[in-house]
Amino acid sequence: MNKTYVVIILLVVMVVLGLLFMGKDSTVKAPEVDTVEEIDLDNQVETNFGADLVLPASTADDGTTLPAPEVKEFVVSGSNFSFDPSTITVNQGDKVRIVFKNSQGFHDFVIDEYGRATKQNQAPSEEIIEFVADKAGSFEYYCSVGSHRAIGMKGALIVE
Ligand SMILES: [Cu+2]
């Protein structure tokens, strides 16, 4: 009878110990879950870095918009025998884009000081010239066809 009790007690102890070990096993697994969570945190940090990289880039774009050369576009129409507008004003350092639209006759658009000229074109035609207005002053633009310049087909680019 005593031996039976001892055996039963041993079995109970073994079961309890077994449960404790299984409990320990489960508590051992718990840190693994923590490790996985830590990895997830790392991934989130990396994702945040990615987001941070995007934000300064767009901020940099906004920042460089102000100091970067500003593109000033002007549509200048040519006809017999004038340019419209006849005065263009930009700031020194601006990138200037002139869309020369010849709407009447045979003309071109020339600005010697910036070394730019369109081809001589029969209307209707359109040609674009671009340059950086790096010299301050007042510069004449004109039509080089025949006597057009002499009879008033000219204008002024003012670089301030
Ligand atoms: Cu002309």
Measured in Å, residue 95 CA sits from the centre of ligand 1 at: 25
pLDDT at residue 46, as a whole number: 43
pLDDT at residue 126, as a whole number: 98
Measured in Å, residue 137 CA sits from the centre of ligand 1 at: 24
Measured in Å, residue 81 CA sits from the centre of ligand 1 at: 6
pLDDT bin (cut points 50, 70, 90) of residue 7 is low
Measured in Å, residue 88 CA sits from the centre of ligand 1 at: 18
> pLDDT digits over 31-83, tens only?
444 544 444 444 444 444 433 333 333 444 555 445 667 899 999 999 999 99
Measured in Å, residue 145 CA sits from the centre of ligand 1 at: 5
> pLDDT digits over 78-104, tens only?
999 999 999 999 999 999 999 999 999
Q: Is a pLDDT exceeding 50 seen at residue 119?
A: yes
Here the tokens at position 6 are 């001892």
H/E element, 71: strand 71-79
Measured in Å, residue 72 CA sits from the centre of ligand 1 at: 24
Measured in Å, residue 143 CA sits from the centre of ligand 1 at: 4
Strand partners, 27: none
Contact 118, 100 (CB under 8 A): yes
| Percent of the chain's residues with pLDDT above 70 | 57
The overall average pLDDT reported for the chain is 78
